[in-house]
Amino acid sequence: MKNKFLLPLIIASLLAIGGIGAFMFYHYSSLAQRQAIIHNKGESVMPFDLSQTTHIFKKTDTGGIQQVIAKDPKNTQQISLIRMHLQMEAGLFQKGDFRDPMTLHGNSMPGVQELSQGAKNIAISYVDLPNGGQITYNTNDTNLINSIHTWFDAQLSDHGSDAMGM
């Protein structure tokens, strides 16, 4: 009698395992495809070469630090383009203008609507780095801190190997 239930149980288990595997394959395939699209589309928003640079996102207790650095510290052309772009973006972000990230990542990018609406409550500043540039986001508003962290997570996911978290 026990053997009567064993075969259906084995079949159900194999189907479940196969379904999980298929889900994971689809998820990671579509994630890899999205990252490739973001990488290729990046030049429509950023003047520097994503293949020659790295985005770094560091979450802090008061917001976060976003850096873009040239992989080759002697590549003055990429460093100049990074600095120009990030300085411009910091100015736009301070005004609540997050159109560039939305152009690249989509209008429904997590966290960006809250950042657009709450920009007046976020101190956004830019500084040059020896091999790139940095934007710092500081706020005392817990909801905006969470939005910055969510936004960073979305960028990390979308940029894949072009980015790293700290």
72-97: pLDDT as tens digits = 999 999 999 999 999 999 999 999 99
| Span 108-135, pLDDT tens digits | 778 889 999 999 999 999 999 999 999 9
pLDDT, position 56: 94
Ramachandran angles phi, psi of 59, nearest 5°: -80, 140
pLDDT at 35: 53
Neighbouring C-beta atoms of residue 89, cutoff 10 Å: 22
| CA–CA dist 84, 155 (Å, integer) | 20
Residues 6+ apart with CB under 8 A from 20: none
The residues, ordered by sequence, that sit 6+ positions from 140 with a Cβ below 8 Å of its Cβ are 62, 121
DSSP β-bridge partners for residue 68 = 55, 133
Average pLDDT over every residue of 42-64: 83
pLDDT number for residue 105? 53
For the question of whether the overall pTM of this predicted structure is more than 0.85, the answer is no
- pLDDT for 84: 95
Count helices and strands (H / E) in the chain. Answer: 5, 5
